[in-house]
C-alpha cells in the first residue's frame, strides 16, 4: 500500500497484498481487488457491501440522505466483473472456481491468471481475450532476456 494506506493512492498493485477489505471508493480494479470481489460475490449479489472486519461500528450516528439505493454500488461492481469475465469464456469460469475454492493470486493456474489479468484494469480491454493473450505472449517472448552458454 501507499504511505497513506489507501488504494486510491496506490500506483503498484503488488502493494495491496494482504489487504482483507476494500471500501467502494477504493476499487481500482487491481488483481487483488478483483479476487476480493469474486470471493464476496454472494454478499455483493445480495446488494450488501461486505463489512469492514476492523470497524467496530458501521453506524456513525449521523443521518444522511442517499440518492440511490444501498444495493446499487455492490451490484454495479459485481456486474462489471462478471461482464468482463464473460469475455474470457471457460478461463473466466476457471478463475471463479479457483477463487471460490480459496486460491490466491500467487497460486492460480496459468489460465485463471490470464483471465484475471485480462479482467483487471480501470477500463475494459478493447480487444478480444484471445487477441489479448496472443499479443501478451508475443510481447513476453520478444522481451525475455536471451541467455547463451559458451
Helix (H, G, I), strand (E, B) or coil at 34: helix
Q: What is the reported pLDDT for 72?
A: 87
What pLDDT sits at residue 17? Answer: 73
**Residues lower than pLDDT 50 in the chain:** 1-4
Give the per-residue pLDDT at 62.
Answer: 64
- Say what the pLDDT of residue 84 is: 95
Output the pTM of the full model: 0.78
Q: Which residues contact 108 (CB under 8 A, 6 or more apart)?
A: 95, 98, 116
Count CB neighbours of 67 within 10 A: 5
Task: Assess contact for 45 and 56: CB atoms under 8 A.
Answer: no
The CA-based angle 33-26-96, given to 5 degrees, is 20
User: What's the grid cell of residue 73?
Assistant: 454500488
Amino acid at each position: 500500500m501507499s504511505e497513506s494506506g489507501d488504494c486510491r493512492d496506490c500506483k503498484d498493485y503488488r502493494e495491496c497484498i494482504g489487504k482483507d477489505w476494500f471500501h467502494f471508493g477504493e476499487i481500482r480494479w487491481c488483481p487483488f481487488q478483483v479476487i476480493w470481489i469474486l470471493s464476496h460475490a454472494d454478499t455483493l449479489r445480495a446488494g450488501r457491501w461486505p463489512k469492514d472486519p476492523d470497524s467496530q461500528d458501521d453506524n456513525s450516528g449521523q443521518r444522511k440522505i442517499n440518492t440511490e439505493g444501498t444495493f446499487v454500488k455492490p451490484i454495479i461492481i459485481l456486474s462489471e466483473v462478471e461482464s468482463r469475465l464473460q469475455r474470457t469464456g471457460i478461463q473466466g469460469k476457471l478463475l471463479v472456481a479457483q477463487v471460490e475454492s480459496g486460491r490466491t493470486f500467487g497460486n492460480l493456474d496459468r489460465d485463471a491468471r490470464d483471465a484475471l489479468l485480462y479482467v483487471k484494469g480501470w477500463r475494459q480491454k478493447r480487444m478480444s481475450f484471445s487477441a489479448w493473450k496472443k499479443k501478451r505472449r508475443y510481447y513476453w517472448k520478444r522481451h525475455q532476456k536471451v541467455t547463451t552458454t559458451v
